[in-house]
Amino acid sequence: MTSPGLKTPALTSRLPNVGTTIFTVMSALATEHQAVNLGQGFPDFDCDPALLDAVTQAMQAGHNQYPPMPGVPALRQAMAAKMQALYGLRCDPVSEITVTAGATQAIFTALLAVVHPGDEVIVLEPCYDSYVPNIELAGGVPVRVPLTPGTFRPDFGRIAAAMTSRTRAIIINSPHNPSGTVWSAADMLRLQELLAPTDVLLISDEVYEHMVFDGQLHQSAARFAGLAARAFIVSSFGKTYHVTGWKVGTVVAPAAFTAEFRKVHQFNVFTVNTPMQHALAAYMASPAPYLELGAFYQRKRDLFREGLAQTRFRMLPGEGTYFQCVDISALAVPERDLSEADFCQWLTQEIGVAAIPLSAFYGDGFDQRVVRFCFAKKDDTLREALKRLSRL
């Protein structure tokens, strides 16, 4: 694109510390070495054919032009009905629900809508990799508070200590990527109590809301009136219906928050693809697919954990999400002493299974000898991975 004599002006990066994400790096390495890719978090199986049929029908019915800016009304109504049925939250689909291009956009737009330059936003590490760059792009200051090492439970003492007069928001994520922990009702009540006397907003990333195991309930912020009144509650159809590539999600927030959210949304994404929204609205008529998702993934978790139990990986609890974390320090190979990142590279190249180092979810690269596997895979894929891992 450049030629002699033409000058390309130099840029000063808005995100100087951001490079290619570990997920892209590990997926490329997995392809290069024909490794089983348990790194990046997406299913290797397809969605319900009925959902694909619904998209075709929507396209053939002519739903191919811009939908309303906040989203197709039928989809927002279906979301409102779900929020009430599952979490007891009455929300207005007209003024309190917006359809987004996935959860990542929802979180970024929420931050752009509420964060002013210099505002602080608390993130609980390890955390999903978009949060911190999003806060920075919004002009905010990320304040990193660690979840308790080893258990990954929230440390309310440290959260309270991190709150200042400049704190604008806190981002939470339960069920939690990468650790697979799930916040209890007591955790949510503690948070509600902590935030009650403040003007701190809550961004509740609930993309794994339907992947909670062993009879536990997802404790959505929607169940807690004091939290819902100050929250952006973020969901993702990609995770729930095995269509991560569709990038469709929602954000539920009080009308005043939603109004500000939509001011940003309309000049950025504006609208989300129409036929998918119609298809999702029709598909949501039955709650069975999301109500059965927990059992579906619990079976895969159990299959994967049974295999891992035959190895020297020490498994961390897996209460929710489609991730299983393991401690590598008791393995009988010298590579157990490598950094998490180097271990994952070795595991991909030599053992043929890709994983993600937990250090990738910390700003300072904190290394605790733990790596993350994704079990949103066909049983055969999981068995093949386990066969390879059985050497360890």
Ligand X SMILES: Cc1ncc(COP(=O)(O)O)c(C=O)c1O
List residues near ligand X by CB under 6 A: 41, 102-104, 128, 173, 177, 205, 207, 236, 238, 244, 247, 249
CB of 281 to ligand X, least distance (A): 17
Kindly report the backbone phi and psi dihedral angles of residue 303, in degrees, each rounded to the nearest multiple of 5, phi listed first.
-60, -45
- The HSE-up count of residue 66 (CA atoms within 13 Å, CB side) is 7
Q: Which is nearer to ligand X, 213 or 392 (CB)?
A: 213
CB of 356 to ligand X, least distance (A): 11
CB of 329 to ligand X, least distance (A): 25
Q: Which is nearer to ligand X, 177 or 352 (CB)?
A: 177
Q: Which is nearer to ligand X, 102 or 320 (CB)?
A: 102
Q: Which is nearer to ligand X, 234 or 338 (CB)?
A: 234
Lateral strand order in the sheet of 370-374: 314-315, 323-327, 370-374, 356-357
Q: Closest residue (Cβ) to ligand X?
A: 102
Q: What angle do CA 105, 359, 137 make, to 5 degrees?
A: 30
CB distance 155 to 143 below 8 Å: no
Separation of CA 81 from chain center: 23
First to last CA, the chain: 49
| Of 252, 217, 215, 247, residue with least CA distance to 232 | 252
- Measured CA to CA in angstroms, residue 115 lies from 105, 118, 137 at distances of 15, 8, 10
CB of 161 to ligand X, least distance (A): 24
R_g (Cα) of the chain, nearest Å: 21
User: Could you please report the per-residue DSSP string of 54-81?
Assistant: HHHHHHHTT--S---TT--HHHHHHHHH
CB of 236 to ligand X, least distance (A): 3
Q: Which is nearer to ligand X, 244 or 392 (CB)?
A: 244
CB of 128 to ligand X, least distance (A): 4
Secondary element (H or E) of residue 345: helix 340-346
Q: Which is nearer to ligand X, 41 or 318 (CB)?
A: 41
Distance CA 94, CA 195 (A): 27
Q: Which is nearer to ligand X, 96 or 205 (CB)?
A: 205
Distance CA 75, CA 88 (A): 18
Q: Which is nearer to ligand X, 80 or 243 (CB)?
A: 243
CB of 105 to ligand X, least distance (A): 7
CB of 77 to ligand X, least distance (A): 20
